[in-house]
């Protein structure tokens, strides 16, 4: 059977469709589409056991097998730390549109960062970035670079404010070349360094996440230009009032003064504390907040506390 060619905008599966793995024989029922990217489609599925999982399907068997292997390796070394969705079945399936390859993983619940910030306030950006830093520091300690770090690959749980990462296709051992990346976040595209997998590669992407989240129109304008213009990015970011609290930190990374996530996190703590104070002040005068607001503040405060205990 020929391989499925994801040419049309029509997703491969519709809700209610059963998927039966050809080799392992596991059965899943599609509940809906969670997202689509350049490499595949991700579906919410219900397994035979009743568990709700996520199934990533692609026409590229090697990509699917590699991602599955990366996630499995990370689970092997993570020792209780959450370094990505738990991963299960790897198989292929014959569909009406051809053969497709899939793996099954834990379904990460959460929404995109941008709408979360719109609802909760822009000052939450520092708390979200702090969590991404924690994740990156652990990954770097294990000798891996995340590679394709971007806003679209982070999901935040609305209730707890907890951030999780998805799409581990770009994870690369330190020293090798990053193979999966997105131009806006790629320092090599901006002419600001190589694609060698190292801590500073992810750190550059982290700063670009800040710009993309807090000044999305700037990100749109600059990424639409035919050639990347780093001087214009620098000039625009340094004069944009929305990025004012972040300017020193962005400049420190872009000028090469800060090259590790640990150093970035130390400076970020000041912004997090300022965010928490702002939240307290703003809401103190308001009507009683809802339960989820308190949960969010507590989770952020706990994060700050844990950092102080471990690192200070
Ligand atoms: N485990 C998961 N749980 C919930 N949602 C997920 C999960 N994995 C992926 N998604 C959703 O599906 C979207 C696309 O998935 P993913 O980024 O893995 O696809 P991709 O084709 O590799 O994308 P890219 O073009 O970024 O390489 C994600 O942005 C996310 O919203």
d(CA 261, CA 275): 20
Give the residues surrounding ligand 1 with Cβ less than 6 Å away: 34-40, 42, 54, 56, 85, 105, 107-108, 152-153, 166-167, 169
Encode pLDDT of 225-252 as tens digits. 989 999 999 999 999 999 999 999 999 9
Clarify whether 89 is annotated catalytic: no
Share the mean pLDDT of the chain: 90
Query: What pLDDT score was predicted for residue 290?
Result: 57
Q: Are strands 144-145 and 52-58 parallel, antiparallel or unpaired?
A: unpaired
Number of Cβ atoms within 10 Å of the Cβ of 36: 14
CATH code of 113-311, in short, is 1.10.510.10
Query: What pLDDT score was predicted for residue 41?
Result: 96
Give the three-state DSSP class for 190: coil
- Give the CA-trace dihedral at 189, 192, 195, 199, to 10 degrees: -130
- Average pLDDT value for residue range 23-33: 97
Instruction: Break the chain into its structural domains and give their ranges.
Output: 18-106, 113-311
* Nearest protein Cα to ligand 1, atom 13: 35
Query: What pLDDT score was predicted for residue 312?
Result: 39
How far, in Å, from the CA of 17 to the mean position of ligand 1? 20
What is the model's pTM? 0.88
Query: ipTM more than 0.95?
Result: yes
CATH code of 18-106, in short, is 3.30.200.20
| 93 CB-contact burial (10 Å; exposed 0-12 / middle 13-18 / buried 19+) | buried
Q: Are strands 18-20 and 27-36 parallel, antiparallel or unpaired?
A: antiparallel
């Amino acid at each position: 059977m020929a391989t499925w060619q994801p040419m049309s905008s029509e997703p491969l599966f519709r809700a209610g469709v059963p998927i039966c793995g050809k080799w392992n024989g596991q059965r899943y029922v599609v509940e809906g589409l969670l997202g689509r990217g350049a490499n595949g489609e991700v579906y919410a599925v219900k397994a035979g056991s009743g568990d709700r999982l996520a199934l990533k399907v692609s026409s590229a068997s090697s990509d699917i097998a590699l991602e599955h292997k990366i996630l499995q390796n990370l689970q092997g070394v993570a020792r209780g730390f959450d370094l990505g969705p738990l991963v299960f079945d790897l198989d292929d399936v014959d569909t009406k549109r051809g053969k497709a390859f899939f793996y099954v993983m834990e379904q990460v619940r959460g929404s995109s960062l941008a709408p979360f910030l719109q609802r909760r306030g822009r000052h939450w950006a520092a708390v979200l970035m702090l969590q991404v830093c924690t994740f990156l520091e652990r990954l770097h300690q294990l000798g891996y670079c995340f590679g394709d770090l971007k806003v679209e690959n982070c999901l935040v749980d609305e209730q707890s404010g907890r951030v999780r990462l998805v799409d581990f296709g770009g994870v690369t051992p330190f020293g090798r070349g990053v193979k999966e990346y997105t131009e806006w976040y790629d320092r090599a595209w901006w002419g600001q360094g190589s694609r060698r997998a190292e801590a500073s590669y992810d750190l550059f992407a982290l700063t670009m996440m800040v710009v993309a989240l807090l000044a999305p129109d700037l990100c749109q304008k600059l990424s639409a230009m035919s050639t990347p213009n780093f001087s214009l990015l620098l000039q625009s970011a340094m004069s944009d009032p929305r990025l004012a609290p972040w300017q020193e930190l962005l400049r420190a990374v872009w000028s090469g003064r800060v090259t590790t996530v640990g150093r970035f996190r130390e400076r970020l703590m000041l912004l997090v504390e300022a965010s928490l104070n702002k939240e307290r002040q703003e809401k103190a005068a308001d009507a009683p907040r809802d339960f989820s607001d308190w949960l969010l503040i507590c989770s952020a405060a706990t994060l700050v506390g844990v950092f102080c205990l471990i690192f200070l």
